[in-house]
Amino acid sequence: MTSDLNDGQTYTEVLRYYKISDGEGHTDTALVTLDITGTDAHPDGVGV
């Protein structure tokens, strides 16, 4: 993503072959999908 999202605008990023571990040495690969939705809120004054 190279720019800010407007209120209600969405962006989807797919992470392929993401490796997940159970902490005991066992691993598996997965497909992770991130859905990000823009908002007009600016917590802590960021973006104001």
Q: Given this model, what pLDDT does residue 46 score?
A: 61
Q: Which of 16, 15, 7, 12 is nearest to 36 (CA)?
A: 12
| Cα four-point dihedral sign 17, 23, 27, 33 | negative
Tens digit of each residue's pLDDT (9 = 90 or more) over 1-48: 667 788 888 888 887 777 888 889 899 888 888 888 888 766 666 655
Cα–Cα distance list, 9 to 4, 32, 36 (Å) = 10, 20, 8
- Alpha helices, DSSP H, located in 1-48: none
